[in-house]
A and B are shown apart, each in its own frame.
Chain A
Amino acid sequence: MTSSIRDTTQRLQIGFWGARGSISTPGRLTEKYGGNTPCVSVRLNDTHIVFDAGTGIRNLGLELARDYADRSEELSVHLFLSHTHWDHIQGIPFFEPAYMQGAKVTIYGSSAKHGFFEEILRGQMGYEYFPVTMSDLPSELRIRELEGETLALGDLVVSWEEQIYHPGGSLRYRVQGPGSDVVYASDIELNKCFVPDPDIQRAGEQKRYLDFIHDADLLIADGQYTAEEYPAVEGYGHTTIELLTEIAYQAQVKRLAVFHHDPKHPDRLLDALWQEYRAKYATLTPPMGVFWAREGQIIPV
Chain B
Amino acid sequence: MKNEGNQDFSFHRRKDDVGERTQIHDPRFMPDATPPPTPKESGERKRKATMRVERKQLLGDITVGLRAHLDIFEAGPGVPESFELGDEEVVLGRNADCLLRLDLDHVSRHHAKVYFLEDEYYLEDLQSTNGTFVNGVQVTRCVLRNNDLVEIGATKLYFVEERIRQ
Contact = CB atoms under 8 A, between A and B. Distances in A.
A binds B: yes
Contacts of B141: 2-3, 5, 297-298
A295 B136 CA distance: 16
A296 B142 contact: yes
Contacts of A289: 137
Contacts of A31: 145
B15 interface: no
B143 interface: yes
B120 to A, nearest CB: 8
A284 interface: no
B122 interface: yes
Contact of A291 (B21, B127, B137): B137
A2 B120 CA distance: 11
Interface in B114-147: 117, 120, 122, 124, 127, 131, 134-143, 145
Nearest to A135: B18
Given A2-B122, A9-B127, A31-B145, A278 B140 contact: no
A13 interface: yes
A296 B143 contact: yes
Nearest to B134: A297
A174 B139 CA distance: 21
A37 B122 CA distance: 21
Interface string A1-20: 11101001100010000000
7 contacts: A32-B145, A127-B21, A278-B136, A295-B143, A297-B143, A298-B139, A300-B140
Interface of A: 1-3, 5, 8-9, 13, 31-32, 127, 133, 274, 278, 289, 291, 294-300
